[in-house]
């Protein structure tokens, strides 16, 4: 499928590059004149029959084709070359363009020089059909540049680029489909051909993150009503401590900095929790980081999973991470324990983590 798509795109690129010079039906003629010979390359926008002539009546030089070329070995003298494009074997759609040029001969070769002229002629045939003929004559004396070869190289390069772009597009679409189906679970121990399985593994990259908000959740009779975002300013306080830690604040400065946030959280718990035992879990929603997500596709071969391909993509890292747990009911040590957990969390905000 990828090879077919690449061929289609390459063919389209060759068609566009060769026939984009004129509308609606171009006939192009490119000539390269040396000191002892003359080469001509011609192309049309459709499949036609070509007829060529060099100072003599024309003769077939291409049947049911879109392009062709011919080379004449000539002595010194003046010549006129013409090419016609006819459709269906009749002159219902045809045109002729001529170019007069001189072969200097090997004994009188002047210094190399290049002369390029472009002539566009519109001819009406059959009453309603318009044929636009574009002629480009490149005359280089003193031998030298094979314009047709240069054009072929350029067109070939464009075709390769187009084929590569098509292959990358097909691969991206296939991988996007696998990414949408990926799971963090490993494939089951047994499989039935031709089954497939795609896993993903996310690793948070080191980088500056922001604590968007804190959440509270509870377990046990005393904390069963807990849920949702913390209402105080603890998140803003912790963000200030994180910035200080980035700038090199000491462990003691970090511990002192998180104390107001710990006090705010405990005050909120005192208001929301009931009497009795339980556990209040504090979590943080982090934003602004990046993560590497590795995808691996497995294929079932002879009842066993075989790795088929793997790749990694960078994604925005927005996630919820645990911060601390507070045992209920609160006591004299609650503040000290929460401060220790918040201080440890601050040092991990920007760190890499696998999940």
308-331 tens-digit pLDDT: 999 999 888 888 999 999 998 899
Lowest mean pLDDT among 2-16, 72-86, 101-115: 2-16
pLDDT for residue 262 = 96
User: Taking the CB of residue 114, how many other CB atoms lie within 10 A of it?
Assistant: 12
pLDDT for residue 95 = 56
Cβ atoms of 202 and 293 closer than 8 Å = yes
End-to-end alpha carbon distance in the chain: 36
CATH of domain 2-157: 2.60.40.10
Cβ atoms of 216 and 226 closer than 8 Å = yes
pLDDT for residue 310 = 92
pLDDT for residue 90 = 57
Rounded to 5 degrees, what angle do the CA atoms 29, 10, 176 make?
Answer: 155
Give residue 50's Cα distance to chain centre. Answer: 41
Query: CA-CA distance, 226 to 272, in Å (whole number)?
Result: 7
Lowest mean pLDDT among 124-133, 286-295, 315-324, 341-350: 124-133
Query: CA-CA distance, 41 to 33, in Å (whole number)?
Result: 12
pLDDT for residue 108 = 41
Query: CA-CA distance, 234 to 220, in Å (whole number)?
Result: 24
pLDDT for residue 242 = 95
Q: Which residue has the higher pLDDT, 63 or 111?
A: 63
Which tens digit of pLDDT belongs to each residue from 54-82?
Answer: 877 778 888 888 888 888 888 877 888 78
3-class SS of residue 232: coil
pLDDT for residue 53 = 84
pLDDT for residue 276 = 78
Extended beta strands in the chain, E state = 26-33, 37-54, 59-73, 77-86, 96-103, 113-125, 129-141, 196-204, 210-219, 278-301, 304-328, 353-354
Which tens digit of pLDDT belongs to each residue from 140-198?
Answer: 333 445 566 667 777 777 777 777 877 788 888 888 888 888 998 999 988 988 889 99
- Residue 70 has, within 13 A of its CA and on its CB side, a CA count of 17
3-class SS of residue 164: helix
Percent of the chain with pLDDT over 70: 74
Altogether, the residues listed in the chain come to a count of 355
Q: Which residue has the higher pLDDT, 218 or 15?
A: 218
Answer yes or no: is pLDDT of 2 > 80: no
Q: Compute the mean pLDDT over every residue in the chain, rounded to the nearest whole number.
A: 77
What pTM was computed for the model? 0.47
All CATH 2.60.40.10 domain ranges in the chain, comma separated? 2-157
- Residue 103 has, within 13 A of its CA and on its CB side, a CA count of 19
pLDDT for residue 31 = 78
Mean predicted confidence (pLDDT) in 241-249? 94
Instruction: Tell me the CA distances in angstroms from 78 to 33, 34, 113, one per residue in order.
Output: 12, 13, 18
Instruction: Tell me the CA distances in angstroms from 194 to 191, 296, 310, 312, one per residue in order.
Output: 8, 16, 18, 24
């Amino acid at each position: 499928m990828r090879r077919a798509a690449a061929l289609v795109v390459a063919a389209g690129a060759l068609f566009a590059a060769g026939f984009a010079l004129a509308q609606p039906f171009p006939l192009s003629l490119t000539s390269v004149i040396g000191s002892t010979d003359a080469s001509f390359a011609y192309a049309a926008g459709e499949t036609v029959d070509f007829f060529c002539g060099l100072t003599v009546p024309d003769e077939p030089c291409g049947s049911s084709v879109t392009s062709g070329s011919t080379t004449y070995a000539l002595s010194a003298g003046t010549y006129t070359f013409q090419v016609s494009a006819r459709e269906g074997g009749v002159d219902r759609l045809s045109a002729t363009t001529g170019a007069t040029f001189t072969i200097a001969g090997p004994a009188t070769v002047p210094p190399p020089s290049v002369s390029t002229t472009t002539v566009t002629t519109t001819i009406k045939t059959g009453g309603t059909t318009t044929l636009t003929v574009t002629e480009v004559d490149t005359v280089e004396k003193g031998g030298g540049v094979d314009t047709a070869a240069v054009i072929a190289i350029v067109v070939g390069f464009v075709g390769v680029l187009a084929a590569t772009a098509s292959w990358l597009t097909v691969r991206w679409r296939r991988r996007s489909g696998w990414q949408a189906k990926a799971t963090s679970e490993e494939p089951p121990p047994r499989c039935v051909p031709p089954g497939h399985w795609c896993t993903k593994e996310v690793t948070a990259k080191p980088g500056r993150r922001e604590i968007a908000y804190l959440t509270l959740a509870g377990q046990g009779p005393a904390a069963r009503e807990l849920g949702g975002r913390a209402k105080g300013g603890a998140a803003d306080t912790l963000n200030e401590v994180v910035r200080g830690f980035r700038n090199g604040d000491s462990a003691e400065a970090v511990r002192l900095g998180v104390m107001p946030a710990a006090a705010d959280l405990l005050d909120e718990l005192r208001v929301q929790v009931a009497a009795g035992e339980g556990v209040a879990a504090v979590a943080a929603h982090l934003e602004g980081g990046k993560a590497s997500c590795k995808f691996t596709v497995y294929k079932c071969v002879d009842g066993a999973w075989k790795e088929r391909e793997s790749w990694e993509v960078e994604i925005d890292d927005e996630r919820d991470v645990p911060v601390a747990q507070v045992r209920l009911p609160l006591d004299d040590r609650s503040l000290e324990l929460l401060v220790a957990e918040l201080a440890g969390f601050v040092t991990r905000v920007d760190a890499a983590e696998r999940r």
